[in-house]
Amino acid sequence: MQIDVPATLGATLRGARRVVVFTGAGMSAESGVPTFRDDLTGLWSRFDAERLATPEAFHADPDLVWGWYEWRRARVRRAEPNPGHLATAEIETLVPGSVVITQNVDDLHERAGSRAPIHLHGSLFAPRCIGEDAHPADVPDTDPGDGGRIPPPRCTHCGALVRPGVVWFGEQLPIAALNAAVEAASSCDVLLTVGTSGVVYPAAEIPRIAMLSGAMVIQVNPEPTPLDRICAVNLRGTAAQVLPALIASAR
């Protein structure tokens, strides 16, 4: 699909002091990574995703919850960054000081070359212990096969169980990540919101913060979203289609 990007957007991108790229599930979907609600196939098809993604579920049946997240983590490892991820990393090179903020829990931005994306909802690749002074934990790679119960490892520091490093229902976003995202959105010239529905809060406030701070907000999405009305430009297409074209217009 040929995407026509106005030349003025390329000039705007090229002249920006700081760009924020804010990504959602649509970005990873183009690499074959399903959303967590859709990631229930095979042995997992009889489960409700929202009942697996809570602290209560983990404490009630840690082997079941850890097994599902290990299965998801293995699926992400088999995925590859798509042209949208690569173009995002190129934006960081084009406009030094730019920031990637993602709602996704995979590592595709990192593998595409983004330096330090802010993960608002945590990461499948950043497990941590459940101790009172929670800290990151190293976890050996396992092969979950078709899925099933896998006992979670113990923290080598304190002996507590290790949990997935994602934000579950009923949990707050990590305060450091949220503060960094708000600071970046408040101080950018351009914010690209890519592949996100704009309905998951508080993450959905990030484009609005940028708009209220005077930034140009550009949306990349194949479908209309609630963010349409606050965006200066709405580019209809996927990340893999639009972002490379945007980069080409900025060269």
Separation between Cα atoms, residue 5 and residue 7, nearest integer Å: 6
H helix intervals, 97-186: 108-112, 175-186
Q: Are 183 and 210 in contact (CB under 8 A)?
A: no
The CA-atom distances, in angstroms, between 188 and each of 48, 133, 191 are 39, 34, 7
135 is catalytic: no
Q: Strands, E, within the chain: which ranges?
A: 19-23, 99-102, 118-119, 122-129, 162-166, 190-194, 216-220, 233-235
Residue 132: exposure state from Cβ atoms within 10 A (0-12, 13-18, ≥19): exposed
Separation between Cα atoms, residue 84 and residue 196, nearest integer Å: 13
Q: Annotated catalytic residue: which of 85, 109, 119, 121?
A: 121
Separation between Cα atoms, residue 56 and residue 62, nearest integer Å: 9
Q: Name the residues annotated as catalytic.
A: 121
